Each structure stands twice: as C-alpha cells, then as structure tokens.
Structure 1
Amino acid sequence: MTPPPSVLFAEDDDALRLATTQALELAGFTVQAFERADALLASISGAFDGVVVSDIRMPGMDGMELLTAVKSIDRGIPLILVTGHGDVPLAVKALKDGAFDFLSKPFAIDHLTASVARALEHRRLQVENRRLRAAAEANDATDPLIGTSIAMARLRASLRQLAAADVDVLIEGETGVGKEVVAAQIHRFSRRAGRPLIAVNCAAWVDTSFEVDLFGHASDAVAHHRSARRGMIAASSGGTLLLDEIDSLPLGMQARLLRVIEEREVQPIGAERPEPVNLKVIATSKTDLAEAAQAGAFRTDLYHRLAATRLRVPPLRERGDDVRLLFDVFIDEARELFGRPDFEVPADQLAALQLHDWPGNVRELRNRAFAAVLQNGADEPGAAPATSDLRLRVALYEAALIKEALQQCGGRVHEAIRRLGLPRKTFYDKANRLGIEIDAFRR
C-alpha cells in the first residue's frame, strides 16, 4: 500500500518540478507533484498531516492565493513558498500571513529538505497536540473522579501535570478516597497510556509467592516451576507500575523495591544478572509515610525516593457538596443494578448526608447508597424476590462470611484466606467489590 504523501509540491516548470521531486524523494519524503496550484488544492483535506511547497508565480492560482486557500482549510498546514529574487518582499508578506518559510531561487536542495523536515515536525507535534486535546475532552465526559469542589478541581489539575511529566508519584490519602482511581487516571493521561498498567496489591503480601509474582524467576529457580516466569515488574516495562498500599510491605521487600526504583532494573529469583525496565512508578499509601519512616516502620531512603512528587487525595469531608452529587450517582447505579428504577431516597437520609464525617470516604458513601436501595426493597411487605434480590442475598452472605473470618482472625488476611478456602486474589477481589475495609478488622 502506497503511503500518503508527506509533501505536496506545485511548480509549473516541468524540469524544475521533476528535479525537485526526485531530490525530495531521495531525502526520504513521499512527494506528490502538481503543475498547477488549484490541482494541489483539490487534493487537500483537514486530515492532511504533511507540508505544502509551492512556487509563488504560476499561471491561474498563484502561491499567495494558494496560501489563503490552504489556511481556510486548516491554518496549521505548513506552506513553504519558493520565490524569484524580485518576489522577496511578497514572500515576507506571506510569512506575516502565515507561511511557514520561503526560499529564493536558485536554492540549495539541502536548504529545502531541511525546511521541509522542520515543517513536518511542526505539523506532527500540532496534530499530536490536537489528538491529545480531543482525547482529554472525550475523557472528561467519562471522568470517574466525580465532583465540582475546589479540592477536586485542584486534584484534576495536579493529576494532569503529573501525567504529562514522566516522573514517579506518591499518592497519599485515607482509606476509601479513591487513590487507585487517581493512579489509573494518571496512567490514562500519560504518554504510557497505550502500554500496560500493572497494579501490585502490596497488602496481599503473605509469603514468598508474592515475591515470585513480583520479581519473576529463572528456569528451575523455584520448586515445581521448571520454566522461567516473568514477574509483574518486568511485565509493566514501558508502562506504569502501581504499588498499591506500599505502606503495608515488610522492610525486607521495601529494600528490594528500592533497587528497582533507583536502578530501573529487576533481577528475577535465581537469575544471574538483572534486566533493565522502563517504568513510571506510582505508589499509594493510606498512612503518613513520613511518620512511618521516622518510626522505623518504613525505609527512609525509599520514602525520600517516592516522596519527590506527592499527590494528596482529599477525604470526603473536605469536598462539600460533592457528597450529595456522588450519592446521587451511586443511587442511580444501585437502581439500575438491582432493578429498582422508581426508588426515591427518603428525605431524612438525604438530610443526614452532610452531618456524617464519612471515615470510609467514597467507598463508605457508595455502600450507604446501595444499602438504601436494597433495604428499602427488602422492607416492602409482600415484595417478590427478583433476580437482583438473589444477587443481593448472595453478596450479603459472602460479605458476612468474609467479615466473620476476618473478625475471628483479628484481621490476619492469610489466616482468613485459609479459613475460607479462597485463592488470595479471589479474596481481595471479593473484599473490594463488597466494600469490606480489611484495616478495620486489624484495628
């Protein structure tokens, strides 16, 4: 398939048109040549992402008229004018009118190719910026960070800045504020968005299996695993590595992660040498890492490496009217999920929203909204159990069993997992979906 032209060239002199076209093609450009400017103009659309080169003096439409016509299609299309000696004042006027450059005849072909290369790079950046702006506007329509408060406006602005800069980020905030959502948005708006976002749940650390998952291993380095395995750190190379709840990691594992973050390399278990990784690291913490470092519960060197760029997610009590806005969104979600489109929130429940401190933040608010819809349906006399009610009952039963296990185990997750007979990932998936605050049972 023939690539689209990167240069559209108009010149009425046959010999000069042929020679210039060949020279541009030898320089690596894809050229489409025209004898007349109006024929060139007919081939341009707003989707054209190349450069126009045109002589000024031509029969019919001249170069100045072509400049005006091209700018009416897309003011960003670069146009380079080729002038005779007597046309230099006219070319200077063309620059003021938006021409990208002009060359006087006779010109050296390397001057033309250098000008075309600059114009193409200018156009590429312009098209990319338009694409990013359009993507940002489209993303705004589906932004999961709901809220109109000043705190959320500041958060969004900071988030965009940190996404544009390819730097590591420490996201701090209370349980339930949405730190994982913020991390996902930073990745979404970054240049790494087309690459994977690998989330590591540091709170899931139980035994050496977590280390294997994270770092991978060489062949025959781990019992019962003859083939080499790629870890999550290596899998995130080129993209973003999210270290969720990094404050939960043991000090020994923190030391290994420090090497990854500082050296940008990872050494699988049993491997002879480390391998380089290209990462943007985002870490989240529900506790004050500075205090944890001072108390010896978190490595000071790792804290300072992560804390160079910090982002605080505000708790719900600092977000004013966002509470009611979010509650309405969650109520709509619950209405749809549980098949209760006619449900109306009692006035006393709405009045109580602003009186509560919401220690569980957005997650607690969502649970409250779902409970409001579900309990109302369960309390109606004679209400027939619909399919959504069955799902509710199963979910409530699962939540009760998980909470009971955590309570009996004092919040020790590995014991609760063994008691319930669940895989670790399944346990955390269910706890997250059911809004179970594991930390509450540890306290």
Structure 2
Amino acid sequence: MGIIVSEMPTSTVVQVADLSTGLVTDFSATLGHALVEQQAQLLDGTLEARSSQNAQEDSLDLFPSLPKDQLAVVTPIIGPKLNLKLLTIPVIRPRPGEVTVKIEWTGICGSDVMFSLGPQPGFPSEFHIGGHEGIGRVVASHDPSFVGLPVAARYLCNTCRACHHCREGVPESCSKQENFARTLAGTFQEYVTAPWDSFMPVPDWVLGESDIVSPHLYTAALCSGAAALKAVKNAAVRPGDVVVVLGVAGGIGHLTGLLAKSAMHAKVIGVDMASKRDILDHGACDIFVPIADSGPGSPKDWDAFQREIADAVQWLRPRGSAVRKADSVIVTASTETAFGNLCDYVCDGGSIVCVGVPKTGGEIRLFIPDVVVKQIKIRGSLMGDWEETYEVMDHIRAGTIKPVTQVVTLDEVPDAMAKMYEDDHTGKLVVRVGGDVHGKRQP
C-alpha cells in the first residue's frame, strides 16, 4: 500500500491548513489533479482499481464504523526546509489481508525530521506521511478475530528473511524490506491501513493498564528504546562498568543512559549541551559533563574537557582504582561535536558503539595504533528488533526506567519537529493521536 493520500479519487478536494497563518487552501489546486493521480499510480498501483474497490465497499457498507475522513500530518513536497501540513484525508478501508489500526500514540524520531527534509532512497518525494513509533488497536479487518487487538507500527515491519543480510543478522539491509513511513504510510495520522503482518503484536497491558503506566511511554520502546538497548548490548555493558554516553539528553541518548544505569547497573557519565543538564535529575546519568557552546575545539578547551571526563571516571571507579578511562563510549545521534580521538576515553579492551546518525552526518576520530594496542572494539548499531522492543517495554512496565517525554498533539507535530531539528528538546517527543491533551479533540 502506498502513501494514504494516493487513495483519493481525483475529484476529492483535500484542504490544507497552514498552521502558521490559519489559512486553508485547496490541496488539489496547489499541486494539480494530474500530480495526485500520477503519485497515486506510482505508489499504489492502479488508482482506478482501488477506487472501484473502495466504491464497492462503501456501497456494501462493509466497515460502517470507520469514519470517512481523518487528520494527518503530511509533507506535500519534500524540500530543503520542513514543509509539514495538517490535512484532512480519507480513511482507507482495508483489503483482504490488511487491517485498519486506530493510532492512539506515536513517537517522533529524529529520522522523521531527516526523511521529511530531503529525498531519501525509497522514500516518496510527495505526500510523505511520517511516523514509525505508533501504538493502537485494530478497528477494521476482513478477519474479525483481529479486531480489538493491540499492535505497534515500527519502522522495519517486513523483510524477505531469506537473503544474505537477513540470514546474517542485519535485516535492516534487506533489499526487499518494507517500512512504515517509507513503503507504507506512517503513523502521523489517526488511522493506518496496512497488511496485518506489518504490525507488531503487543501485550494487552500496553494499552490496558493506563492507570498503572501511561501507554504513551511505551512508544519510546519501539525505535529509540530498542536502538538504545541494542547499543548497550553491543557495548557488552556489565554491572559496575563506567559508560560515557555522548548525547545523553536525546531520544536515544537518555534511554541509553537509563538502560545502562538502571537495567545494567553501570555507572554513567552523560555528555550533552549545558542547557540540558536537567537530564541528570531524570536519572539518565550519574555525572553530567557539559559541552561548551563552542565545543572542545581549541587545545585549551579540549584539554579541560578531557580532564573533566577523566575525573568523572575516576570518581565513579571503586576507591583506590587508578583507571581513568571508561569501559565503553556510546555515541548517539544527538552528538555532533568532534571529540577528538575517542580512544582517549576508553580503557584497554573497551568498546566504542555508534548508534543513530546526526543530521549533518558527523564523524569520529580514531588513532589506529590505539585501536590495535588497546584492542578496542568498534561497532555500529542501527536499531533493535522485536526482542529489544519487548525487553524495553518490560523495563518500563516494571518501573526500572521511565522515559523522559514531552506530549504534543497531532496539530502540534510541525512545530515539535522544527524544535527537534534545532535540537531544542530533551528526551522523547510523543504525539497524542486522535485526541487532544488540551481538550480540543476527544479520543
């Protein structure tokens, strides 16, 4: 299934609400019916066949409980600047093998910003609906046994399971993979219709114990939390280890710190911008080391910064230890400052793990003799799978960790993503979909 706007008959008028001005314009007049039809055929096969099926289903009233329209945050045309619009679009009726899920909560990932800014391989250049951290319930299906089941929508939702990459444990590189927000419309909409096997089943308690744990916290496990746990596992963090987390206040970074500290019982040194020092109060680290606004660029700044890290390591080591370096350094996507030779921070036999990608790409420096002589392990870590997701959910439910979240509503997503682009946030941004925390819309 393609981007959800592609399901519109060409006679449909979609109104675009510009949140900054309050003006409402005719979306079809802006881009033209021809472009709508062309994109629909490109992403979802033959427009006429699907429109005919929708018309038949409407006449038979197979899914009368589904509303005809919904709100969605869409990037009409991807360009060098964020171009997010709140649209009213049709709710797609499921075909056999598909289900329609009413999204209750969804997270905002840093990659959502990147995918909405410029052409990415395999991503649509128009009508892009982002979001890949959604949870909700199935509300429509040709198989009634699916209705009511709680599910989650993650970025990687299907692979071939037979290629070299799948068999070697890197399914993220599968050439036949399917993804929410890439090959399937994402979760920045009230209803998502997609094949049943593209969703991840979740325990009933994810949505059924809201009086104990707010369901919105579990969205942090779907991408950021799973990625954080996989990075901690790749670093082979053990109880008592000292771990430096670069970018500890970000979506992945703070969960990396929480998991290393509270789940793995390690000692955590968090590094991030001085303005985000309050992440220390949330338990993501034991010691917070701020980055100066200019970063440790000059030799004087660099020396002072390096000494502060070494002093923090020694403070966290058992009394009498002479080791002034960490057991592992985990670099998250929130960190874009060059820290010099990362080997300077890691003790012999330690690990350097990079998880996520900064918006400008970023780079790290490694002195090869240090890597060889100290036998330092270097690992890239992309995302966790279902196992890591379930583990993080268990930690959240048990109260072992509590993600730092900021809840926004669907209409606030454009502003929230703009702040994320400017790195003007701490922790995880979560969207209340289909309901308004300010009381404007009801769930």
Structure having the higher Rg: 1
Flag the structure with more relative contact order, 1 or 2, with Cα contacts below 8 A and sequence separation at least 6: 2
TM bin (shorter chain): under 0.3
Q: Which has the higher helix share?
A: 1
Q: TM-score, normalised by structure 1?
A: 0.25
* Between structures 1 and 2, the one with greater strand share: 2
